[in-house]
Structure 1
Amino acid sequence: MNFRRECGQIIHDTTDYLSYKGYLISDQDQFDLLDEIDDAIEKSGPSSTDKEEAAMRIRSLIGTLFKTVYQCSNCGNFFIDNNHPRLEMFRGVNPVNRNLLMSALGDKWKGFIFAEWKDKIPDWQTSNGILYNETNASSLTVRLDGNGKYSAWETLEQDYYKLFNELKNKNAIRYSHLKKNNTVIHSWSLKK
């Protein structure tokens, strides 16, 4: 889902782990969900198939009971997707906390970084390279030359490794990828 706000901000929902996206569950539904989780833990059979079926029941119920919520990072307004053809909007009171949907772990939430270079600029991009820092890490010391969009591979690669090293040292990432023309140049994942 993508939609433009009246303030001009475009909200994109094209990936996971978004800091401006969350989910609501009503108090009435929460206890049904907790009961289903209890049943899955206590009553699922011993086989891996039984456990998989129990997990899928919970995931299905979560998909049914939760409503998707977005918060505009520009104006702070909330938008609730109530499974209707339009979003319900709620305005905050000034000053608005624009990080209400951020992880409860705050800066300690482990996110990811992703960088990609294409020699031929795709129709949907305005530059050859992009670098996404999808973490909640604040007070970074690294200065990125490309500001997220790159016209030189060397600058993108350099900024990626600077950001990767700082975030890894802060224990702020779970995975990281650098691609050039669909070839993985660097990939790293936190060991579980």
Structure 2
Amino acid sequence: MKIACHCGAVIVDQTDFLSYKAYVVADRDWEDFVDASESKGRIDSSLVRLSYQCPQCGRLYVEDASRELHAFIPDEHKVQVLGSSEGVDWRAPLIGSWNDRPYAGQAKGHLWCDADGGTSTEFDDWEQLELAYQALFKRLRESDRLRSALLRKNGQDVHSWACKA
């Protein structure tokens, strides 16, 4: 999904772990939400509304009960309210991928992680991607900043790790 913000920026929702996206449950629905989660072992998404915050201007977009987005402007410019409650200590996933035959115009390799200021790097050499992945994996794991890690080459898992916390 893409949202055209009133300021001209585009808010993109095409992946997980977005720093500018949140799920909202109304106070009147909270007990039903908790009950459904505990008894059924799953989230009742009918009680959840999406919200987004424009990284450029700080404008907040929140769904109403009809799933229509409404915009709200913060009093303080650029205050981010939808980030993790863990703040800078949020543990991020590390994802590396390689494809010998990428789509036209695309790099063969990509490394992404949103910890410590984030990284999104493209590679045209598998060995460089693998070295960068392993170095970042080691550093983030030692500093307890890693949620999970996955390195794939041509659709096959080369390395995977999940935090046992």
TM-score by length of 2: 0.81
In structure 2, list runs of 5 or more residues that go unmatched.
Answer: none
TM-superposed CA distance for 1:170, in Å, is 0.9
Task: Name the CA distance, whole Å, in 1 between partners of 2:59 and 2:122.
Answer: 27
> Counterparts of 1:7-156 in structure 2 under 5 Å?
7-34=7-34, 36=35, 40=38, 54-56=39-41, 59-60=43-44, 63-82=45-64, 84=66, 86-98=68-80, 100-122=81-103, 126-135=106-115, 137-138=116-117, 147-156=120-129
User: Could you say which structure has the higher strand fraction?
Assistant: 2
Aligned to 1:2: 2
Residues 132 and 59 (structure 1), Cα distance of their counterparts in 2 relative to 1, 3 Å cut = same
Q: Deviations over 1:91-142 (max 9, x none)?
A: 22343213x111111122222110111122236x73222111133x35x8xx
Q: Check conservation: 1:23, 1:69, Cα contact below 8 A.
A: yes
Task: Name the CA distance, whole Å, in 2 between partners of 1:10 and 1:155.
Answer: 32
The alignment of Structure 1 onto Structure 2 pairs a total of residues equal to 165
User: Could you say which structure has the higher helix fraction?
Assistant: 1
SS of the equivalent of 2:43 reads helix
Question: Larger Rg: 1 or 2?
Answer: 1
- For the aligned residue pairs, the C-alpha RMSD in angstroms reads 2.7
